Amino acid sequence: MKYANELKVGLTIVVSAVIFILGVRYFEDIPLFRGTLDFVTELDNAGGLISGNVVRINGVNVGTVNEVSINPKTGRVRALFHVDSYLTVPEGSYTQVSGFDALSAVRLDLYLGPATNPAIPDGGFIPSGEDSDLLTQLIDRAPALVDRVDSVLVGLDATLGTTRSLLSDPNSDLRATLTSVRGSMATLNQALNDEKSRISRVLANVDTISGNLGRFTTEQGDSLGQAVQHLNQVLGRLDRNLASLETTTDGLNTVLGKIDRSEGTLGMLINDPALYLRLDSTLTAVNRLLVGFETDPARFLRELKLVDIF
């Protein structure tokens, strides 16, 4: 029991140290029972980034910013941060300050590169991308936006003043146009009121016609179906007749081709002028013979014997 008090004090110190270390890791957003990977990045503008801000990947908290300072060699903002050790940060990754500086809601977003790239080692450097503090960008652009809005308002005021003067001038074209439009609207309204009953009757007639047509379609559905079927049959026969006509036309084209090539009697007759002339002379001689026989048949019968005739 001689060392009981010293043992208790020692255990108390050890437990207090463990609790202190775990508390520090907890408040610094460091995993209690896992390791971390430390990285370095440099930014053109910290945008309100301070030690203790979270590091996110795709909106998930994965680490914390450890330190933010100025790099005396480059004049840029140097930020040290850590992420959980189970993550792999491939080459091609970059950082970006996001959030609203004016609202003290700033974070460091880490965008991972292609998973096939080699991993950046612990303590490695990760380049930064373009800052995306929307509120800061709006503040920077505020003077130009105010000037533009002011010019638009001045132009609008001038336009309204001109419109007001035109409306107050009895001889202005705008006032005359508005008066004409007002008169036209009044005339149109009066015409619609006068023809309201007729329009109602027309609409009622259209509704009646639609109802009658619907009932006719329902009642004569079978007849309409038969008529459509008969029409399909007629169209089928017409299609077959057209096919037969096409075949006949092909045959006629073949015959005309043979005639054009002087094949056959008719082709030779049409394309051979000598044959035509011989046939014409033959027909002329036969015609003279028939004319002579008709005028003086005795001359031809005198030379014939009765036995030769019968």
**Which residue bears the tokens 């036995």?**
307
The C-alpha atoms of residue 31 and residue 86 are separated, in whole angstroms, by 11
Burial class (CB in 10 A: 0-12, 13-18, 19+), 81: buried
Same domain, 68 and 118: yes
Lowest-confidence region among 10-24, 75-89, 179-193: 10-24
pLDDT over 60 at 61, yes or no: yes
Of 272 and 50, the structure prediction assigns the larger pLDDT to 50
Q: What pLDDT score was predicted for residue 125?
A: 92
Range of the domain at 76: 34-132
Whether residue 309 is predicted with pLDDT greater than 60 in this model: the reply is no
Domain assignment present for 211: no
Strand 60-70 relative to strand 94-100: parallel, antiparallel, unpaired?
unpaired
Domain total for the chain? 2
Mark whether 151 and 70 lie in a shared domain. Answer: no
CA atoms in the 13 A half-sphere facing the CB of 30: 16
Answer whether residue 307 shows pLDDT above 50.
Answer: no
Tell me the one-letter amino acid at 177. Answer: T
Instruction: Tell me the pTM.
Output: 0.38
Name the DSSP letter for residue 121: P
For residue 81, what pLDDT band results from cuts at 50, 70 and 90?
Answer: very high
Least confident of 38-47, 64-73, 133-142, 292-301: 133-142
- The answer to whether 28 and 52 are in contact (CB under 8 A) is yes
Q: Is residue 302 part of a domain?
A: no
In a domain? residue 38: yes
pLDDT at 26 over 50: yes
Domain edge (last residue) among 115, 132, 149: 132
CATH of the domain at 83: 2.40.30
Contact 50, 3 (CB under 8 A): no
Mean pLDDT computed over every residue of the chain: 77
Confidence at 306, pLDDT banded by 50, 70, 90: very low
Residue 128: count of CB within 10 angstroms of its CB: 18
Distance separating alpha carbons of residues 137 and 101, to the nearest angstrom:
11
